[in-house]
Amino acid sequence: MRFSRLLGRTLKEVPADADCASHQYLVRAGMIQQVAAGVYSYMPMGWRVLQKIEQIIREEMDKAGGQELMMPSLQPLELWEKSGRLPSFDKTLFVLTDRKDHKLAVGPTHEEVITDLVSRTVQSYRDLPQMPYQIQNKFRDEPRPRGGLLRVREFFMKDLYSFDVDEDGLNESYAKMVQAYKNVYARCGLPAVMVEADSGAIGGKASHEFMLLTESGEDEIIYCSKCDYAANTEKAVSVKKGATAADPLPVEEVSTPGITSIDDLAAFLKVRADQTLKAVFYAADGEIVFVVIRGDLGVNETKLKNLLKCIDLHMGTEAEVKAAGLVAGYASPMSIKGIKVVADDSIKLGSNFIAGANKPDTHLRNVNYPRDFKVDVMADIAVTRAGDTCPRCNGELLSRKGIEVGHVFKLGTFLSERFNAYFLDKDGVTKPIIMGTYGIGLGRLLAAAIEQNHDDKGIIWPLPIAPYHVYLCPLKTDDKNVTQAAEKIYEDLTRAGIEVLFDDRDESPGVKFNDADLIGIPLRIVVSPRTLKDNAVEVKWRKDKQAWTLPLTGLTEAVKNVVCTGGTC
């Protein structure tokens, strides 16, 4: 491709609304253009990258036994009502009404459609297993689109669905997909880490995310320093350290004027935070919930939401707390009536806690569970942090930032049962099909690749997904020898199957080199009067500082070998 004919142009200025590296560089390199908030056009170079990612994914899905199909973006809203997932997606779902007043959803995912489809086609165990997949646009009305392609309202996604006769079959399909995902990321040149994850609105009983590690990531990964345990913070657990235990002492009041926070309380009474009980108020589907947790810990709202099986969960507002008769800053579970009390299991690890007295400016010493109060539900609802103890090997837990680039779920039978997706087993018994679902966001993977691979000059594409293999850069285009040599190199490399962006523009070396670094094509070849004196060209990897020379004689074969060694062949 000749740069002079390329649709799109590079920009020197950083877009005002671009708050992350991938967004800045994709726009500046002329690879995407915003159409609306969270909606982008892919320009030719950006589309080439997306197509390469798509082809790698397609090949790995096919190799794992997947069958590609295409399902509609428009979905009857009745399918979502039938699955029971309409409230879970809530305002994220784009809904429209056709001319016959029939409501349709614009697909954010396709579990409903594929389960309905399979219920009509699969009848016997002989028809299973099945692993259909598609690669197509999805739509979600994100409340705050941000980060360019990282959080959008229209996106490309590969979604594969597994259908099996039993748990062993599901486990086998799941393992195949996990390996296929590992192959995808390896072939893209993007090392990814698999972590335990929360299933969220998709549902199901087990799931894992694949994360690209980068300090600009919006997710935090908790992992063990000794074993292979890894999870995102929504799912991570740890062995909680026990506070010092002692024989229960009598409860006594203590005056704490104006002391409403745990830190201030601990300092005022000269105790550690783990010797206090923290009260946190939530509204779960409109019902006030009293949460009690040891003072040194935080509440993991995802764990709490899953425990309560609610759709909406938010911190109780001042009005909601007041209406429930609770005293903010001085509340405790003692003598609480008519309000659900949920406790973290950390309250069992210690004794003689300090807690609120349910009246202003007063706390209680020596509060003990279960002597002094009861709870309705107790579970692990605490945030796991770096420095905590690994639940598998007692090693120390560490943390890293990352970006989610894939998610796999064991759905089980809840959707197949609702859509009557049953089969007859070999004994003639009717059973529900067991399902799994597996997604990769292609645009998000593209953006995450840049977040993981860039410097202060621009993108550093991994060679397998780069828009072109070679950036051919002739200097002094008014020199006939330079232009003739560059044209021949371009033709020879293209004929040999090497993808080349030929910068044939009449621009200064500074402009060309800056654009080469910005666009991030892996291998740069410079043709100049100086190199031609030695019958050679200058060659440089984008990721390296040092360049080297290659002779014109045998250049095509040499470049082909270099590109293959770099990861393409």
CA Rg value for the chain: 29
Q: Tens of pLDDT along 383-404?
A: 999 999 999 998 999 999 999 9
d(CA 54, CA 49) in angstroms, rounded, equals 9
- The answer, yes or no, to whether residue 567 has pLDDT greater than 70, is no
Identify which has the larger pLDDT, 146 or 434.
434
In contact, 199 and 71? CB cutoff 8 Å: no
Q: Report the chain's mean pLDDT, rounded to a whole number.
A: 94
Task: Kindly state the helix (H) or strand (E) to which residue 303 belongs, with its residue range.
Answer: helix 301-308
Q: Tell me the residue type at 352.
A: N
- Region of residue 554 (left: phi > 0; alpha: psi -120 to 50; beta: else): left
- The answer, yes or no, to whether residue 569 has pLDDT greater than 60, is no
What domains can you pick out in the chain, each with its CATH number? 44-218+399-451 (3.30.930.10), 252-379 (3.90.960.10), 468-568 (3.40.50.800)
Label residue 330 by pLDDT band (50, 70, 90).
very high
- What sections of 64-208 are H helices per DSSP? 77-83, 86-89, 111-121, 167-187
What value does the mean pLDDT take over residues 220-236? 93
Q: CA 491 from chain center: how many Å?
A: 41
The two structure tokens encoding residue 290: 């009293």
Torsion of CA 268, 269, 271, 277, to 10 degrees: -90
Label residue 237 by pLDDT band (50, 70, 90).
very high
Q: CA 21 from chain center: how many Å?
A: 17
Percentage of residues in the chain having pLDDT higher than 70: 98
d(CA 141, CA 165) in angstroms, rounded, equals 35
- Strand partners of residue 290: 281, 341
What value does the mean pLDDT take over residues 59-70? 98
d(CA 129, CA 165) in angstroms, rounded, equals 7
Label residue 566 by pLDDT band (50, 70, 90).
low
Q: Tens of pLDDT along 111-136?
A: 999 999 999 999 999 999 999 999 99
pLDDT at residue number 200: 62
pLDDT at residue number 493: 97
Spatial neighbors of 44 by CB under 8 A, at least 6 apart, are: 1, 6, 7, 8
Nearest one of 164, 251, 232 to 431, comparing CA atoms: 164
